[in-house]
Amino acid sequence: MAKSVTEISRGLAAGKFSSVEVTQDYLARIAEFNPSLNCFISVTDELALAQARQADDRRAGGEADALTGVPLAHKDLFCTDGVRTSCASRILDNFIAPYDAKVIENFKSAGAVMLGKTNMDEFAMGSSNENSHYGCVANPWNTAHVPGGSSGGSAAAVAAGLAPGASGTDTGGSIRQPAAFCGVTGIKPTYGRVSRYGMIAFASSLDQGGPFARSAEDCALLLRTMAGFDRRDSTCSEQAVPDYPASIGRGVEGLKIGLPVEYFAEGLDSKLAAVIETAVDELRRLGAEIQDISLPNTGLSIPTYYVVAMAECSSNLSRFDGVRFGYRCEDPVDLEDLYKRSRGEGFGAEVKRRILIGTYALSAGYYDAYYLKAQQLRRMIKDDFQKAFSSVDLILGPTTPGVAFRIGAKTDDPVSMYLQDIYTISLNLAGLPGMSLPVGFVDGLPVGMQLIGNYFDEAGLLNAAHSYQQVTDWHLQTPELKV
């Protein structure tokens, strides 16, 4: 079984192995299994080994951080100085980032090793990783099934043991949903907890970076490094970052956990619901107090999200025009032809669909009817959560309505694809933290349970997840890989 982030950190500190040795092991594993899984867009072999040697020197000099020498992977929308940053799009296939995103800076400062950049839905738009210019990632548990999206490459890489941990982003569930589909742990922090500087934008009021790993303990270690104030991001919070690893282990005795009745209604697979109920029983045995709550505007989250997100993506993606950087069409006859063909040839179908819908929603005569109305509904969804948190500490439910579906099963039905995020989207609209952890299997595929916390209570989420993982071993299960 591949080692966890915590195990590698402790092993490096104890001198059981070097960063170069562990990095070579992961690079060899990537070379063996990535061709069949397609988790990575770019593998940075030489850079990884150079960083590993520097990490070993740093440890020898007594200047090591907990993550010094630990190999990690990064979603390919975090700008990385001197490394291709493509957003899984043809329009950025040749883009070499000239600077580091704040998240990359933080991991570099900690001495972590970058194995490569992971595959994703183009510009983070999708729930299956089928929208990538570089092809779909395969789910390591069953390669005929999707890994979830948009951070499917990061989730699958961790599940398959191609990296002990990875970064991702979550705009409407893009950390939590693939974590559920791939049987790993992933956390989306409170909006503003992690800097968006250098993170190529999809929807600016919704996007948030976070980590994937085997366990809550690992995620605590990674999030401590990712989080923190950054003056270059005007939406980044100045609130102090707790010591997340030190905050776990408190147990859940007396913790009040709410179960939204709307999350356990029509649309949820009955087998998956039974698995979640078993996990709830385990938390009850650990001393948590379970009670039903209501989030009455849950049904409005999908239409609200897809107006807000598409409007913001329409604005953000206007910068990709074939002039300043990225893909440019051949032999344009004039400036208008350059714009039209560069964008038409560079963007994939799902991205173009969302840009068109967003442009329509923002157009004169429709702004008030769509975008303004969506923002009003967004506030109602936020108010539902605040009312719930007046009586409970955490909220619990399924991460997804079903397990990972087959590749191609929903590509002709965008609405059905969008409904895969029914339980995750509302958190992004409200800006709340949430995480998914593995709690069982249905038909041989992992099931994820979602925990939702109040603002900046990532420590509470991680503690509850860790408490559950201390008495279960679902997060330790690994798929059998075939070349």
Is residue 414 pLDDT above 90, yes or no? Answer: no
- 404 with 148: CB under 8 angstroms? yes
pLDDT of the residue at 366: 86
- Residue 419 — very low, low, confident or very high, per pLDDT cuts 50/70/90? confident
- Residue 168 — very low, low, confident or very high, per pLDDT cuts 50/70/90? very high
Is residue 39 pLDDT above 70, yes or no? Answer: yes
pLDDT of the residue at 324: 86
Model pLDDT for residues 265-285, shown as the tens digit of each residue: 988 999 999 999 999 999 999
More confident residue, 482 or 145: 145
Contacts of range 338-344, beta carbons closer than 8 Å, 24 or more positions apart: 342/91, 343/91
List Cα–Cα distances, 188 to 16, 281, 311, 341, in angstroms: 33, 25, 22, 36
- Give the integer Cα–Cα distance in Å for 269 and 368: 37
pLDDT of the residue at 59: 95
Instruction: Let me know if 75 is a catalytic residue.
Output: yes
Average confidence (pLDDT) over 101-110: 98
**266, exposed or middle or buried, with CB in 10 Å at 0-12, 13-18, 19+?**
exposed
Q: Which of 9, 18, 75, 127 is catalytic?
A: 75
Model pLDDT for residues 252-266, shown as the tens digit of each residue: 999 999 999 999 998
Model pLDDT for residues 452-466, shown as the tens digit of each residue: 999 999 999 999 999
- 189 with 208: CB under 8 angstroms? yes
pLDDT of the residue at 74: 98
pLDDT of the residue at 127: 93
- Residue 482 — very low, low, confident or very high, per pLDDT cuts 50/70/90? confident
pLDDT of the residue at 364: 84
pLDDT of the residue at 406: 96
Average confidence (pLDDT) over 32-52: 98
DSSP 3-state assignment of 457?
A: coil
Average pLDDT, the chain: 96
pLDDT of the residue at 365: 84
Q: Locate 193 and state its tokens.
A: 């907890």
pLDDT of the residue at 220: 98
User: Could you tell me what percent of the chain has a pLDDT over 70?
Assistant: 100
Place of tokens 């605040």: 386
C-alpha angle 97/103/108, rounded to 5°?
85
- 136 with 128: CB under 8 angstroms? yes
Model pLDDT for residues 135-165, shown as the tens digit of each residue: 999 999 999 999 999 999 999 999 999 999 9
DSSP 122: G
- Residue 107 — very low, low, confident or very high, per pLDDT cuts 50/70/90? very high
Is residue 469 pLDDT above 90, yes or no? Answer: yes
Model pLDDT for residues 441-454, shown as the tens digit of each residue: 999 999 999 999 99
- Give the integer Cα–Cα distance in Å for 475 and 24: 25
Determine phi and psi for 332, rounding to 5 degrees. -65, 145
Q: Which of 174, 301, 436, 467 is catalytic?
A: 174
Instruction: Let me know if 174 is a catalytic residue.
Output: yes
Three-class DSSP labels, 170-223: CCCCCCHHHHHHHCCEEEECCCCCCCCCCECCCCCCCCCEEEEECCHHHHHHHH
Is residue 1 pLDDT above 60, yes or no? Answer: no
List Cα–Cα distances, 75 to 40, 131, 166, 199, in angstroms: 9, 15, 7, 10
Q: Which of 86, 150, 436, 467 is catalytic?
A: 150
Q: Locate 228 and state its tokens.
A: 């923190």
- Give the integer Cα–Cα distance in Å for 242 and 456: 10
pLDDT of the residue at 298: 94
The amino acid present at 12, given as its one-letter code, is L
DSSP 3-state assignment of 406?
A: strand
Place of tokens 């040697």: 53
Model pLDDT for residues 298-324, shown as the tens digit of each residue: 999 999 999 999 999 999 999 999 998
pLDDT of the residue at 390: 97
Q: Locate 351 and state its tokens.
A: 């991205």
User: Could you tell me what percent of the chain has a pLDDT over 90?
Assistant: 93
> What predicted TM-score, i.e. pTM, was given to this entire model?
0.96
- Residue 420 — very low, low, confident or very high, per pLDDT cuts 50/70/90? confident
Domains of the chain from N-terminus onward: 5-257+391-476 (3.90.1300.10)
Instruction: Let me know if 318 is a catalytic residue.
Output: no
